[in-house]
Structure 1
Amino acid sequence: MKWLFYVIVFVYLFYRAVYGLKESNSLYVEPVTYEEDLKYLPVGTRKTIACKVLNRNQKVEWLNNHGNVVKHENTNRVFSQTKHLMNSGRIVTEQVLTFTHAVVEDSGVYTCRTNKTSQEVELCVIDASDFVNTPKEIAVNQGRSYTLSCEARGQPEPRIVWNRNGEDIKDDGDDSSKYRLMEKYNRQGFESLLTITSLEADDHGIYTCTAIQENSKLSDCSLSKSWNITLIVNHAPVFLDGNDIELVYAKENQSVDLVCSASAFPKPSYRWFHYEDDHTLFEYSQKQIIDSPDTGEATLSIVADKSNYDRKFLCRATNELGNNSKTFTIVQMEKPDKPSEVNLVQSSDTELVFNISWFDIHFPIDGIEAQYMVVSGTNLKRKTPREAEWKRGKQSELVKVDDGEENVYSLQDLEEETEYWIRVRTKNDIGYSPWSSPISASTTKSDTTLLIVTMETVTESETETDEEKLDEETKDNNEGEVSSHNFEGTFYGLFFIGGIFVLGFICVFVMRMV
C-alpha cells in the first residue's frame, strides 16, 4: 500500500503548489484614478477603491492612512463594505473602501490586507487654491515704490513664489535690492507681498505669482496654480534707440519716411517740425503726419532734394507726464568709401573672419563683397598681386557675424590649410566702393585631417607593438612546447609506475584468496 501513500502525497503537494500559490497572490487593488486632467481628488468628492480576493474564505480588511482598521459602518464618512461577485464561474470577494465626502486629511497610504498578503494604494486629496483680493492689472507712476499683493486660499496651505519673464524673483536681503518679499497670514488665507522699489519704465510687464500646494506624506501629491498681474508704469516718452541725431539717407527726388516712435504710458501724441534756422521751428499739420495707434508711430513723408538735404527735422512726443524730442537729418546718398582697415580676427579650416572699419562713415552700407585668390608661385614673391591677376580670382558676399561687434564679417567655403590674397569692397543703392588694399590670410588644417594623421601614427605604433608581441608569443610557444614534452614524459612515467603498483596489489590479493 506504499504506492497509495505516495500518490496521496503527490496530489496534495501538487494542489498546494497550484491552488495555494493562486490564493496567496489573489489580492488585487484597483488603481486610484481621478477626473480628467487632474492628478488629485478635489475636496468634497465621493470616491470608492475596490480590493478583490479570489478566496472567499480569507478575511479581508482595509487599513486607513493611520494604520487603523476601517470599520464596516456605512454611517461613517469613511467606511468599508464587503461584496461577493461571480467572475468566470468563481466567487470573488470585493472589499470596497468608500469616502462619502473626501477631505485633505484623507491623503495618504491605504492598505488592503488578508491573513496572507497585503497591497498599498495612495490617495491624494487637495482643496485647490483660489486667488482672492488679487488684481489683474495695476498702473503706477514712475519713480514710486509699489507693493504687489498675491493672496491664495487652499489646503494644504500654499506657498507662493514670484517670477517675471521666466526668472524667479528673490529677495537678496540687501537694502539696495530691487525686490523685497514679505509673507503674512490672514483669515482669507496666505498672502505674499512683492515690493518693487523706485519704479522705472523697464519694470513694466507681467508678474506671475504661483501658489504651490504640497503634501508632506506623499511626494507625488502636489498642485501649482498661477496668477498674472500686469504692472503698467506711467512714464514720460522715451526713445528706446536714444536721442542721438538719426541720419536718413536718400537719393535725389526720393520720397523718404521719417518714423518717430517713443515708449510711453499713457500713449503719447506726436508733433513734427523742421528747423528754418537755429532758433525757428516750422510745424507740420496733422494732415501731413501718418499716425499709427497700433504701433505707436508717427510718420512724416519728405521728398529728398537740395532744399531738404542736411536739414534737421524734429519729432516731439508728449503725454501728461512730460515730453521728449528726437532729431532726424536727411543726407544725400553717395557711393561708399573703400574700407580703411581690414584685419583678420579668426581663421578655421573653411572660414576667415575679418573686422572691417572706416575712419569716417557718411554713407549707408547694404553689403560687403570679397575677392580672393590662392597665393601661388606667380604672385608669391610680390607683396600684392597685380590688377590683371585679380581677374582670375573668385568673388563672394561676406556674411555678417552676430557676435556683438558691428563690423565683423566672414568669408566662407574656403579650402583648408591654404593661403589667400583677399580684398573687399562695400555697396549700396548708388554703387560700389573701390577695393580695399589686399591682405593675405591662411585657413587652418581641419580637425578631421588631424584625426586621420593621429590615427595613422597610432596604427603604425600598434603595428610595431603587435610585431613585438608576435615575436614574444613565438618564443613563449617554443618554450611551452619543450615544457609540454617534459610534462608528458613525467606523466607517462608516473602512470607506468602506478600501473605496476596496482597490478602487484591485485596479485597479492588473489594469492591470499587461493
Structure 2
Amino acid sequence: MRAVYVSLLLVISQGTYVDLKKSNNSENIHRRQPSVWYPRHQRSTEPEILTEDGAVKVERGETARLRCEVAGLGDFVLMWKQNSRVISAGNLLVRKDSRFQLEVEDGVSNLLIRGVDRSDSGEYICEVDIMGRPIRVRQTLDVLVPPVVKARETELELYKGQNYTLSCSGQGYPNPQIVWTRKVKYYNDGYLENYGNQGLSFSLINVTRHDAGIYTCSAVNGVRAPATADINVRIKYRPEVEIEQTWRMEFTTTEVEIDCIVFANPPAQVTWFRDSGKIFETDRVLMTEKPGRWTIKIVNLRDTDFGNYSCRASNILGKSQAFTFLSGRPRPPKFTSPSLNFHPHSYNLTWRTEAFAPVTEYKLRYRQSKESSHHEGGIWSELVLPVAQPSIAQHYTLRNLKTGSVYDVVGFAKNQYGWSDHSKTFTFFNKGVDFSTEQVKQKPKDESNIIQDKEEEKPPKIKEEKVVQHVRSSGVYVKSSICYTIAILAFYVIYRQ
C-alpha cells in the first residue's frame, strides 16, 4: 500500500494542537493509541474570580459600573450575561446597545451601562467556562428612581360640617411613603406647620374654619429630596364673632376700646350698635378696621356712654353677633404678685384694678388648691377689704398659710356702680424658706480670735499623734528593759559555773 503520511490537527477549545505520530502504515492509525495532551490551563493554576457577589445601586439616568476581577485568566474567556442573554465574550461586545461598554485590563472586566433605566435592573453574571465547568459571580443592579407625587386636586372648597378625603398618589423606586403636613395662616403669626397622617389619603371630618389651610403631601423614598404637592383647602361658613373690652386709665380720663373679632368666609359686613341704635363715628367715638378685627375707641369716657354694645356680622351664609355691656363698674382685678412665695406662712398679694369711679371695696376669696383632677380643693375663705385710700394698685398679706402648698385666689372690686365680674383665678405656690439662697449671718472675728480658733482646732489631732508616739516609744523601752535583764541573768549564770 502506498505510503501515507497522515497528520491530524485537532483544535481543542482553549487548548493546544495535538499531533499524532506519523506512520507509513495506515492500519497503524487504527491500532495506535493517540498521545494524550491537556489544555495549557490544566497544566497550571485554574482561574479564580476574586470579585464577590454584590449589589450596585445607581440612580436612573446615571452610569452603572459592574466589576469582575479574575486571577489567572490566561486564555480562558470571560463572559457577561444578563439572565440567559450574552452581553460580551472576552473583549467582544455581543449585545448591540450603544449604552453598553467594556473596560478590560489585567484580568479586570468592567461592564459599563450608561443612562440606566428601571428596565436595566436585574442580575448580571460574570462567568468563566473551564472545560464545561463554569465559575461565576453575580452582580445585582438596582436602579433607583426619585419620587414623584400627584394630588387629586390642587384647590378645594368645602362648607362647614362637610366630610372629605384628600388623596395623593406617589411613584418612584423604592416605593415612596406619603407624609401629610398642613400650613395654617394666621393674621399676625405667619405660617404654622402641623404634621398629620401617613398614607395615600387624609380624612377631613365635620370641617370647621380651623381645618382651612394648605395641605401638602410629600413622597419620600430616600432618593434625592422629597417630592411635594399642595392642596389649598378653603372652608366656607357663616360669621363667628368674639368681642372684647380694653380699658386705659390716664389721670382723670378713661379710654375704652371695644374689639369685634370676626371669622367669616366669604368676608362679612360688620355693623356696630349700642342698645338698639346704630353707632356712628364722632370726635369721641372712633372706628377702625383691620383684617378680621373691627374696633370702637371711646375717648374721655362718660357715664352717658354706658350701655349694651353689640357688633353684628353677616355674609351670604348667615348672620352672627356678640354683646358686651359697658358700665361704670370696675374691671376685674389683675393680680401682679409673683407665683412663688418663700415666706413660710404669709404671702403678700398685689393687684391692679381699672375703674371709671374710685373703688371703695375689694373682696378676696382664696383656698388651698386641689392636688389633682380627682381631688376637690379646700374650702374658700373670703375677705372683705374696705379701701381707705383709692389707688389702682393694692396689696394684702395672706397669713396662716401651709408651707409646700398651692393656693387659688379670686378677686372682686366694687365702686358706686356695683361689683365687678370675678377675676381670673390666680395661683401661687407657698414654698417656704429657700435655704439655697438664705444667707447665714455671722459676727466678724478679729485675727487673734481666728488664730486662737485654729489652734484650738488642731490640738486634738496633735495630741492623738503624741499618744500614739508615746505608746510606741514605751513599747520600745519595755522591750529594751527585758533584753537587758535577760543579758544580766545569763552573765550571772555563766559566772557561777
- Give the TM-score taking structure 2 as reference length: 0.47
Tell me which protein shows more helix as a share of its residues. Answer: 1
- Give the TM-score taking structure 1 as reference length: 0.46
